[in-house]
Structure 1
Amino acid sequence: MSGNRKLIIEDVKVIVSCPGRNFVTLKITTESGIYGLGDATVNGREQAVATYLREHVAPCLIGRNAHEIEDIWQYLYKGVYWRKGPINMASIAAVDVALWDIKGKAADLPVYELLGGKSRRGVGVYVHATGNTVEDTLDRAGELVGQGYQAIRLQSSVPGLDGSYGVLGDKKDYFELQNDRPLPPEHPWSTKKYMNSIEELFVEARKRFGNELHLLHDVHSRLTPIEAARLGKMLEPYDLLFLEDAVAAENQESYRIVRDHTTTPLAIGEIYNTIWDCKDMIQNQWIDYIRTASTHAGGITALRRIADFAALYHVRIAPHGAPDLSPICYAAQSHIDIWAPNFGIQEFVGFGTEKSNEVFSHDLKMVDGMLHVGDRPGLGVDFDEEAAAKYPYNRSYLPVSRLEDGTLWSW
């Protein structure tokens, strides 16, 4: 194709649907008919980002050249003046990913080729094993090992607490927790009860699975720095691949305290929106894995910058992969993962439900616990608008936590 050929943006559409989970999907169409897809989902605030895209971003894109990804990214970031923030950055991310999708289709190449090509044969993943007891969790882990997975995150209910992060009991999702009144479910939290019970999970896991299986654990930001340091020290004998979100994410220097007291590898970043949120932790080597997601941290353009910066300090990427990130996000991150020289591991929760698979299609495949990226031009993902229309938005919230005395805590 000619180097000066333009792809003029003609239409920008924002679709909010709920095929099992709420997703905000952006579709950018050019005058040539080539279109690209982006994910702008911000769990529990979906309509805020959808409105921001429709009312403030879309009008700025009509008539622009879709090939000018970098200039459009800077325009939406610097030009808005009110920089950063989850709503703004998810909007930028959706536009950015859609433009990379368009560029790949126009070049007849998968996005990873535009980034520089593959650095590995496939993308290593970790999956989740949860249960109401240690035995339940390890039984589930055993099923996943039997399916070929080599890295498993273990989460178990805390004895004496009614509800724990990652454990839904007999509920299949957060919609069921909210019943007929969609307000944030509330879970109790006790650091003492958690610290008194968590080591058993990993003692028993190593007894059952030996030392070759990669084990991970998510604290979900519920400890203070010195508590997290104690936990990291406690879990050192069990050789975790990493301890995730040990401390709340706002104060980067908190991780210096944790790092000073333990050699357990540390990971954080799923709620970070820009490279500035993780800059100090990376350059001071307080963490080992950065977990920013393409949807929440500004798209492929921004995630590539974070990966390159992290590589200077021996920090690997391990992008967030929760079920509230659509298959478009998974596809975008898979292209980053297969390219990034300092890729570590990708969180994986499956390819969706029957409903979501009706709405989204993709060419990703899982073989022997490793994700393989297809060779279709662009991201290799598509979106069925008619199918999405059958699943209207369903207001939902993530839970909140309170200490046993009623104090609001990090969930």
Structure 2
Amino acid sequence: MTATQLVPPATETGDAGTRIASAEVLVTSPGRNFVTLRLRTEDGVVGLGDATVNGRELAVASYLADHVTPLLIGRDAHAIEDTWQYLYRGAYWRRGPITMAAIAAVDTALWDIKAKLAGLPLYQLLGGRSRRGCLAYGHASGADLPELFDSVRAHLEQGYRAIRIQTGIPGLGSVYGVASSAHAGVGGGTRYDHEPARRSDVPVEEEWDTRAYLRHAPRVFEAVRAEFGPDLPLLHDAHHRLTPIQAARLGKSLEPYDLFWLEDVTPAENPAVLRRVREHTTTPLAIGEVFNTIWDYRELFEEQLIDYVRSPVTHAGGITALRRIFDYAAVYQIKSGVHGPTDVSPVGLAAALHLGIALPNFGIQEYMKHSAETDEVFRPTHRFEDGLLHPGEQPGLGVEYDDEVADAHPYARAYLPVNRLSLDGAMHDW
């Protein structure tokens, strides 16, 4: 017997019943598009993973169906770490949102199976409960201040204890992130409260004016603080639209209004530029919803350039990988702030909640409520009470996929908008 035969590969270990017997890639569109991986063991235990990449859904569906699922059949469902390494290190082309979303779906589905086999809610396998619930923030928005105030009040009535603030900008039409805007349909297609993408053959083009935004944003937060007082945690997302010096100016101008965080102030491709932002403002910074691996964060953590990590389970390689990122962040007193709008399915949200309830360095969880149609497809058991999200006590993730309902909602092409400068029509970050 050779040395390589002494340790059987993962495909030959474990009880026969825990081997993966089938892997299905499911695409549905109950108001927006979702990609779900469903794994089933030989004993019939089912695990779900979210693989949704907004506006590129079919790319990750193909990656999974054509290149990943054939590798899973016969593997031991318990071998989560080995499977993660097999899919990441075994591929020559690593990283990127499509690859990491596919790995995340496999990883999450395997954790779902493992927890069901253990008869425990997933968070119990991640170290158990560290808090009563996960503090959540909602998205308040409006085309103008009266509409924004109405939205804030509505969120407070729903029980939110922290609120993201986004508004229209004088002189501009539709602005991404302002879901309730009266101008939301301008430019074609439809924008839904539950789906910021537009169902159209090409992306809708929006206008942008950075100078107008930088003048307007401090006035908005001054008005919100005057209306709702100093205690309500307020957040704001700049959507990567600013240069480093513009981001520094915004952070400094918002200091009097005590933000919980300022998110995605500048494009994330060059993390070193956040040094300039950090030099000029004490406003806490949240970064990373477009990051995919732990390597994207190394410089930001070690130089303590951010305060919150925004990566979701769905796009950062799954529960296994995101837990590593948060453990690394904890060394530098950096907390979690997981991306959680409706382009993350209820499966991805459930995974984030099980991880968040166990994390010692949990910070806050983004939470946009999914549409009723979406919840009919996925049937989640997590709940929102008194400003906190609770993952539930069902074994596994606590999400069940309804094929019959899902099949009634076929895929429909949809894109997030693109930005052009109002001054000259040049393409711009958004």
Counterpart in the other structure of 2:24: 13
Once the two structures are overlaid, the 10-residue window that deviates more, 307-316 or 144-153, is: 144-153
Q: Distance in 1 between matches of 2:133 and 2:198?
A: 40
- Paired residues of 1:127 and 1:348 also in contact (CA < 8 A): yes
Equivalent residue of 1:247, what SS? Answer: coil
Relative to the length of structure 1, the TM-score reads 0.97
Q: Distance in 2 between matches of 1:138 and 1:250?
A: 35
Q: Per-residue CA shift, 1:222-265, capped at 9, x if unaligned?
A: 00001000100000000000000001111111111100100000
- The structural deviation recorded for 1:179 is 7.5
Residues 1:284 and 2:303 are matched in the alignment = yes
Listed as ranges, the matches of 1:152-167 within 5 Å are 152-167=163-178
- The structural deviation recorded for 1:354 is 2.0
Q: Distance in 1 between matches of 2:278 and 2:119?
A: 45
Counterpart in the other structure of 2:160: 149
Residues 1:392 and 2:406 are matched in the alignment = no
- The structural deviation recorded for 1:377 is 0.5
Once the two structures are overlaid, the 10-residue window that deviates more, 161-170 or 206-215, is: 161-170
Query: Aligned pair in 2 of structure 1 residues 89, 402: CA closer, same or farther (>3 Å)?
Result: same
Equivalent residue of 1:318, what SS? Answer: strand
1:108 to 95, 119, 138: 119
Equivalent residue of 1:295, what SS? Answer: helix
Percent identity of paired positions between Structure 1 and Structure 2: 54
Query: Aligned pair in 2 of structure 1 residues 180, 47: CA closer, same or farther (>3 Å)?
Result: closer
- The structural deviation recorded for 1:5 is 3.4
- Paired residues of 2:264 and 2:286 also in contact (CA < 8 A): yes
Counterpart in the other structure of 1:401: 419
- The structural deviation recorded for 1:406 is 1.1
Listed as ranges, the matches of 1:129-140 within 5 Å are 129-140=140-151
Q: Distance in 2 between matches of 1:143 and 1:19?
A: 24
- The structural deviation recorded for 1:398 is 0.7
- The structural deviation recorded for 1:372 is 1.3
Please tell me the residue identity of whatever aligns with 2:362.
F
Q: Distance in 2 between matches of 1:249 and 1:126?
A: 23
Please tell me the residue identity of whatever aligns with 1:399.
P
Counterpart in the other structure of 2:238: 219
Counterpart in the other structure of 2:380: 362
Q: Distance in 1 between matches of 2:199 and 2:403?
A: 28
Q: Distance in 2 between matches of 1:286 and 1:192?
A: 25
- The structural deviation recorded for 1:153 is 0.3
Q: Distance in 2 between matches of 1:408 and 1:128?
A: 26
- The structural deviation recorded for 1:134 is 1.7
Please tell me the residue identity of whatever aligns with 2:80.
I
Q: Distance in 2 between matches of 1:151 and 1:328?
A: 23
1:378 to 385, 392, 396: 396
Counterpart in the other structure of 1:127: 138
- The structural deviation recorded for 1:291 is 0.4
- The structural deviation recorded for 1:324 is 1.0
- The structural deviation recorded for 1:139 is 1.9
Listed as ranges, the matches of 1:217-296 within 5 Å are 217-296=236-315
Q: Distance in 2 between matches of 1:373 and 1:55?
A: 32
Structure 1: gaps of 5 or more residues: none
Q: Distance in 1 between matches of 2:89 and 2:199?
A: 42
Q: Distance in 2 between matches of 1:25 and 1:339?
A: 24
Counterpart in the other structure of 1:325: 344
- Paired residues of 1:224 and 1:247 also in contact (CA < 8 A): yes
Q: Per-residue CA shift, 1:13-67, capped at 9, x if unaligned?
A: 0011100110001000010000100000001111010011001000100000000
- Paired residues of 1:175 and 1:182 also in contact (CA < 8 A): no
- Paired residues of 1:175 and 1:396 also in contact (CA < 8 A): no
Please tell me the residue identity of whatever aligns with 2:396.
G
Please tell me the residue identity of whatever aligns with 2:279.
D
Equivalent residue of 2:268, what SS? Answer: coil
Q: Distance in 2 between matches of 1:312 and 1:54?
A: 38
Counterpart in the other structure of 1:176: 190
Residues 1:87 and 2:106 are matched in the alignment = no
- The structural deviation recorded for 1:355 is 1.2
Q: Distance in 2 between matches of 1:42 and 1:91?
A: 10
Q: Distance in 2 between matches of 1:388 and 1:181?
A: 21
Equivalent residue of 2:314, what SS? Answer: coil
- The structural deviation recorded for 1:86 is 0.6
1:311 to 324, 330, 341: 330
Relative to the length of structure 2, the TM-score reads 0.93
| Number of residue pairs aligned between Structure 1 and Structure 2 | 408
Q: Distance in 2 between matches of 1:88 and 1:45?
A: 12
Counterpart in the other structure of 1:298: 317
- The structural deviation recorded for 1:146 is 2.5
Q: Per-residue CA shift, 1:64-99, capped at 9, x if unaligned?
A: 000000000000001011110111000000000000
